[in-house]
Amino acid sequence: MSFDLLDLLTQQGAQVSATTDGRTIYKHFGDPEQEIKALNESAVVCPLPGHVCLRVTGNDRARFLHNFCTNNVNDLSPGQFCEAFFCDVKAKILALGYVLAGDEFHEIQMLPGDGEALLKHLDRYVITEDVALTSVTAGRTTFVVAGPATTDVLNAMAGAKVLSDSGCCLNDDVALLLTKWNDLPTAFVSVNNDAAVETWNQLTAVSTASGEVAFHHLRILEGYPIIGTDLTSNYLAPEADRNSIAISYAKGCYLGQEPIARLDAMGHVNRKLFKGWATMADDSESDDQLPIVTSRSMAAGDSFPVLLPLPVKLVVESTPLIAKIHAGPTVHIDRLV
């Protein structure tokens, strides 16, 4: 991420903190509730340090990616993308991200995480294929634009291709992906570091500067997990509950396909990631066996959205459901969706 942008964001009042792995995050710009309001009513722009970008080149790149992820990459034309899991042979989740198709290369984009691990996993399967995988993460700065006015905001970017519907554009200077999260237009805008400050200024001139409080509020409502936080590598791809979006059941063989097909034939999984709404419990419980809320929105109010992996049987049998925020207080899960 651009160091010049880091300085600018601090000057503009960004509330800064650090993750356990040393990554800098920008929580908000002084009023997170106003940022969440802007997310719902107009548009916000959030810097996303550590957003992973892996470039895949070579004539066999589409077929190669098709064989090592859960979605149908072969059918993507330039300007199209798909969400996909990358799994091991047992269908355990290694990564979740988007595969973008361009004219000259494909790109894998993921929320901040261990991009190098996925790069090494894929690289070990390159034998005779005309495929090369490289990380361009260090040279990129990524912003998330989200809200009803997202496309209007994107049009303010100088030289950007206009996207009015879901799609992507890829070139050496900009990678732009437009999708929907929780029925709100959501775009990931990735630019070279030397263009980061100019891009930030263009985007925030017509939208609200925001931080990760607003971004993760939207992410949780969408039910989009962070691998390593919401789900570990012990979970199977269908247990993320994004099957209709990220898994193709008609694409044929790929790494992890057989266990996923067996689960599909069974018609259910025994556990999965749930979205829900929670309220703080009056009395904290110390039971170590309580389910763990892995992500919670920091939106104000008595009730807030959460993500938590649960056994399906527990959800059926337990009313109300008591859970514990990771390293935090006890909550009542009032509603699951």
For residue 275, what are its two tokens?
Answer: 């979205």
Choose the final residue of a domain: 266, 298, 320.
266
Asked if 253 and 315 sit in the same domain, the reply is no
Cα(61)–Cα(108) distance, integer angstroms? 11
**C-alpha gyration radius of the chain:** 20
* 8 A C-beta contact, residue 279 and residue 302: yes
| CA dihedral (324, 329, 334, 335) positive or negative | negative
User: What is 206-272 written as a DSSP string?
Assistant: TSEE--HHHHHHHHHHHT-PPBTTTB-TTSBGGGGS-HHHH--SSS---TTHHHHHHHHHHT--SEE
Please compute the mean of the pLDDT values over residues 163-191 and round it to a whole number: 94
Q: What is the dihedral of CA 105, 110, 115, 120, to 10 degrees?
A: -50
pLDDT at residue 215, as a whole number: 98
* 8 A C-beta contact, residue 220 and residue 295: yes
Asked if 23 and 152 sit in the same domain, the reply is yes
Asked if 212 and 322 sit in the same domain, the reply is no
DSSP 19: -
Cα(301)–Cα(318) distance, integer angstroms? 25
Asked if 186 and 285 sit in the same domain, the reply is no
Asked if 257 and 275 sit in the same domain, the reply is no
Choose the final residue of a domain: 238, 266, 294.
266
pLDDT digits (tens, 9 = 90+) for 119-172: 999 999 999 999 999 999 999 999 999 999 999 999 988 666 777 789 999 999
Asked if 285 and 189 sit in the same domain, the reply is no
For residue 336, what are its two tokens?
Answer: 């699951």
Choose the final residue of a domain: 247, 266, 285.
266
DSSP 160: P
pLDDT at residue 285, as a whole number: 62
For residue 310, what are its two tokens?
Answer: 């649960």
Residue 324 binned pLDDT confidence (cut-offs 50, 70, 90) = very high
Asked if the model's pLDDT at residue 267 lies above 70, the reply is yes
Strands 24-28 and 15-18, sheet pairing? antiparallel
User: What is 3-24 written as a DSSP string?
Assistant: HHHHHHHHHTT-EEEE-TTS-E
Residue 317 binned pLDDT confidence (cut-offs 50, 70, 90) = low
Residue 314: give the domain boundaries.
270-337
pLDDT at residue 201, as a whole number: 96
Residue 319 binned pLDDT confidence (cut-offs 50, 70, 90) = low
Asked if 25 and 158 sit in the same domain, the reply is yes
Q: Bigger pLDDT: 1 or 251?
A: 251
Identify the three-state secondary structure at position 332.
strand
Whichever domain contains 72, its CATH number is: 3.30.1360.120
Amino acid, res. 154: L
Asked if 72 and 214 sit in the same domain, the reply is yes
Cα(91)–Cα(64) distance, integer angstroms? 17
Asked if 5 and 143 sit in the same domain, the reply is yes
Partners of 309 in the β-ladder: 273
Partners of 21 in the β-ladder: none
Asked if 63 and 208 sit in the same domain, the reply is yes
Into how many domains does the chain fold?
2
Strands 140-146 and 24-28, sheet pairing? unpaired
User: What is 66-91 written as a DSSP string?
Assistant: HHTSSS--TTPPTT-EEEEEEE-TT-
Strands 321-325 and 292-293, sheet pairing? parallel
Please compute the mean of the pLDDT values over residues 203-228 and round it to a whole number: 97
End-to-end, the C-alpha distance of the chain in Å comes to 36
Asked if 258 and 297 sit in the same domain, the reply is no
H helix runs in 128-211, sequence order: 150-154, 196-204
Contacts (Cβ under 8 Å, ≥6 apart) of 257:
91
Asked if 188 and 108 sit in the same domain, the reply is yes
For residue 4, what are its two tokens?
Answer: 């010049």
Partners of 99 in the β-ladder: 82, 108
pTM: 0.95
Alpha carbon 46 to chain centroid distance? Answer: 13
Cα(61)–Cα(73) distance, integer angstroms? 9
